[in-house]
Amino acid sequence: MMLQLMNVMFVVSGKVILQHLHLTVCAGEIRSILGANGTGKSTLAALVMGLSGYQPTVGSILFKGEDIITLSIAERAQRGITLAWQEPARFEVGFPA
């Protein structure tokens, strides 16, 4: 397995953001995380990347079988973990006739 999240829970200031999250992504698979605003998609990405202030309250995150929870962002990046931020498509207003 490439990435495995097991029973991940994330609580901030007493508010449960994610709970009982299980996710497995095998090599060669593509997964999409969809949901309304405020459902924890960006939080999930921050937990996997290990951004400052994002450490699972409960659970584990494995990358290629290695527990990465204690690794820094740089150490995760060295292993191939990164984030690609969404940016709206750009286009010119007014098309030639």
pLDDT digits (tens, 9 = 90+) for 31-80: 889 999 999 999 999 999 999 999 999 999 999 999 999 999 999 999 99
SS3 73: helix
* pLDDT value at residue 46: 96
- CA distance linking residue 43 with residue 17, whole number of Å: 8
> Starting from the edge strand earliest in sequence, which strands make up the sheet with 3-12, in order?
15-25, 3-12, 58-63, 66-67
Q: Which fold has domain 3-78?
A: Rossmann fold (3.40.50)
pTM for the predicted model, two decimal places: 0.83
Residue predicted with more confidence, 91 or 85: 85
